[in-house]
């Protein structure tokens, strides 16, 4: 048994942990991280929605304007949008076979995620700051 293992990977590739796609496991771990983060954030979101369900508009606006609730909503938006973009990108990469259509679909997916995230963030901030 030799003390050295044979590998066709370069030393830099072994250090970085990059596979043949040169992207490593960044998307894999980011999707798992956002999935785990979405569990308590989704529970908090449901609790917030249920707690303001019977109130009139002004009481609901005041509840969402509280700093802790606004921060939880913003974290839910951020985590949810990132998770959505990565999940859709994986689906596009797996099922769209034309390279041109794939590039356009991935770009459209990113623009859509940014637009949804910006609109939802703007709405929460507008309510939170009472503008």
pLDDT tens digits, residue range 76-85? 999 999 999 9
Percent of the chain with pLDDT over 70: 82
Q: Is there a contact between 84 and 114 (Cβ–Cβ < 8 Å)? A: no
Which range has the worst mean pLDDT, 7-11, 14-18, 48-52, 100-104?
14-18
Tokens of residue 42, six digits: 């989704």
- pLDDT at residue number 4: 63
pLDDT single digits (tens) 114-126 = 999 999 999 999 9
Give the position of tokens 């980011």. Answer: 30
Handedness of CA 7, 8, 11, 16 (dihedral sign): negative
DSSP 82-112: HHHHHHHHHHHHHH---HHHHHHHHHHHHHH
Domains of the chain (ranges; CATH) run: 25-129 (1.20.1300.10)
Q: How confident is the model at residue 22 (pLDDT cuts 50, 70, 90)?
A: low
pTM above 0.85, yes or no: no
Instruction: Report the pLDDT value the prediction gives residue 92, as an integer from 0 to 100.
Output: 95
């Amino acid at each position: 048994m030799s003390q050295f293992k044979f590998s066709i990977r370069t030393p830099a590739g072994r250090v970085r942990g990059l596979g043949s796609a040169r992207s490593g496991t960044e998307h894999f771990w980011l999707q798992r991280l956002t999935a785990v983060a979405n569990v308590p954030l989704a529970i908090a979101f449901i609790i917030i929605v249920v707690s303001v369900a019977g109130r009139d508009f002004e009481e609901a606006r005041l509840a969402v304007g509280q700093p802790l609730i606004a921060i939880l909503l913003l974290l839910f938006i951020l985590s949810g949008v990132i998770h959505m973009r990565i999940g859709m990108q994986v689906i596009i990469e797996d099922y769209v076979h034309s390279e041109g259509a794939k590039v356009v679909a991935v770009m459209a997916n990113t623009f859509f995620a940014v637009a949804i995230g910006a609109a939802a963030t703007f709405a929460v901030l507008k309510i939170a700051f009472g503008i």
